[in-house]
Amino acid sequence: MENILFELKNVGKTYRVGDEDIVALKDINLTFEKGKVYCLLGTSGSGKSTLLNLLAGLEKPNKGGTISFMGNPLEKMNETKLALYRQRFVGFVFQSYNLLPTLTALENVTLPLIFRKVSKRKRVKAAKEMLKLVGLNHRWKHKPSELSGGQQQRVSIARAFVNDPQVVFADEPTGNLDTRTTYEMMDLITSMAREHNQTLIIVTHDTEIAVYADQIISIRDGNVASIETNANKIEKGSELYASTAESDKQEQKSEQEITTNNDTQKPQKEESNSEKQNQPQQDKSKHEGETNNNLVHGFDTYNHYDNSASGE
């Protein structure tokens, strides 16, 4: 099929650790089509990153099987051909950005074009256009240390797409980002891939990231556990997040208002109860005062009569 980008047949991969063979992938059979977004979903150690490395030509299967890219067998290519394959057809987005700290944002984005021997004028123009597309046209002179995590990942995305690749591999692309920035980055990377009919393969353990994909491939213990066509994929997660955040904010505000109203009413009620409780005390004090006055008056009267009787 002309629409098939990758086709894997009976692919296996093991690693030698001491005297033991660790099986990373077992008999994998998959196809990836052009222009679609895929998610390799699995926990740490499931084999999803190993699968990405095989597709990117960074590793080769050692337990049989074939991996073809547009009909060309990757497992038979030497390192020189694999390097050319990555330069011409592949873009990478990493969790830790992998930007060169001594270079500016612009210089980092131009790197893939340098390897393809594009002229300086053309690569600078292309890099500036790509930085503008990811919202960093005002930051192209800044180095990574002068950028936030989200801005660094935008530079990484610009670098991945600048050479117009057939496929972009994103390995835990939002692992170091907060929730709001995660949705912004996923909106950006998926929209860019869809707009240019590029295949995007995302490796993640996060089910909230998986909802962006056209197809979710669950990897468990080196096996393909399930392949799910995602009928409910989202394209603007940041809008959903903003709506949810605003709803949560309004809910918190309502709860605070209720709490404030309750706190305002509670002292008044307590004061009313206090007054009721103090009323008997006041009545008692008043009665005691009257009694004392009567006693004093009676005592004075007694003295008056007592003195009269004694002739004073």
Q: In the chain, what are the domain boundaries? A: 4-235, 236-312
Q: What is the pLDDT of residues 94-106, one digit of tens each?
A: 999 999 999 999 9
**Per residue in 74-86, pLDDT tens?**
999 999 999 999 9
Q: Where are the alpha helices (DSSP H) in the chain?
A: 48-55, 79-89, 105-115, 120-133, 149-161, 179-195, 207-210, 237-310
Per-residue pLDDT, 63: 86
Angle between helices 149-161 and 120-133 (to 10 degrees): 130
* CATH, range 4-235: 3.40.50.300
Which tens digits make up the pLDDT trace of 167-209? 999 999 998 899 999 999 999 999 999 999 999 999 999 999 9
Output the pLDDT for position 260.
Answer: 61
What pLDDT is stored for residue 287 in this prediction? Answer: 44
Statement: residue 219 has pLDDT above 70: yes
Residue 5: strand, helix, or coil: strand
Q: How confident is the model at residue 300 (pLDDT cuts 50, 70, 90)?
A: very low
